[in-house]
Amino acid sequence: MSTPLFHELQTLATEQRNPASTHIDTASTREILEIINTEDHLVPLAVRRELPYIEEAVEIIVDALKRGGRLFYAGAGTSGRLGVVDASEIPPTFGAPPELVQGLIAGGREAVFRSQEGAEDEEINGERALQDAGVQPPDVVCGIAASRRTPYVIGAVKYGRRIGCKTLFVTCTPRAAFNIEEVDVAICPVVGPEVVMGSTRMKSGTAQKLVLNMLTTASMIRMGKVYENMMVDLQMSNKKLVERSKRTVMMVTGLDYDEASAVLAQADGHVKTTLVMVLAGVSANEARIKLERANGFVRTALAL
């Protein structure tokens, strides 16, 4: 006798067969690649249809961050790894503390590198992961699950909502099929069946990555981490970022390489402070005061 899970999988959008790839096992390498690439073109269009919901989610995240909250991703398998990757890129890119955006994955750290598939099967594991991380309002909990049914993710989101956190959910199943407990915002880019049935690391994973990029990048921009279209709160943690910082200062201010290096040193390597120093003609301390009054926005600081 089949199980309830078997019947559930039969109806999931992510578990259907793709008519465009039924002959892929006999296709040439070039044909395989063309099939995959053609299907990948559907992903950004699916994400674009979800922009109103992504906008709502960004507003929730920004409000939480301004009130001292954090963003927590909770996922399993590919979805969990995408959350971990997105969270890990925030400190070097935007100069934010590592605890500001955190990725939780079923099975813990080991699951990032090697599948721990059974770890996703219990809702209590998601709840405990949030408890261990000290999640509390005004933190935001964002579940990530292509199928929308992963117990670990559902458990995390349920717990977050129960303790008063705002909750988000990123899934690749239709909004009408979204049947977990209510969340504040569901983001549902429906990309259609995968080229290889059920392999949600493909189109679904790409869609989730695009959404997570938008959530954190837009939030960081709204928090003053970008000037024009340049990262100005990045950490000079490796040689590439050191040189990028100098180049940014040079591009904005017109200083040469040595001049930019010297002013950055006066500003303790902080690009934002350097820009305000040069463009407003003030000391490093005065630039910091201006930025503080401007809530970290370079344009506002220059207008003061």
> Which amino acid makes up residue 71?
L
Query: Does the N-terminal peptide bond of residue 138 adopt cis geometry, omega within 30 degrees of 0?
Result: yes
Catalytic residue among 39, 50, 120, 127: 120
> CA 193 to CA 212: how far, in whole Å?
21
Q: Residue 228: which region, alpha, beta or left (left: phi > 0; alpha: psi -120 to 50)?
A: left
User: Is-catalytic flag, 194?
Assistant: no
- Picking from 46, 120, 94, the residue whose alpha carbon sits closest to that of residue 241 is 94
Q: How do strand 101-105 and strand 140-144 relate by DSSP bridges?
A: unpaired
* Residue 176, number of CB atoms within 10 A of its CB: 7
DSSP track, 188-200: -----S-SSTT-T
Q: Which residues pair with 141 in a beta bridge?
A: 72, 167
Catalytic residue among 15, 59, 89, 286: 89
Distant-in-sequence, close-in-space partners of 128: CB < 8 Å, separation ≥ 6 = none
The string of DSSP codes covering 64-103 is: HHHTT--EEEEE-HHHHHHHHHHHHTHHHHH---TTSEEE
228 is catalytic: no
Catalytic residue numbers?
Answer: 89, 120
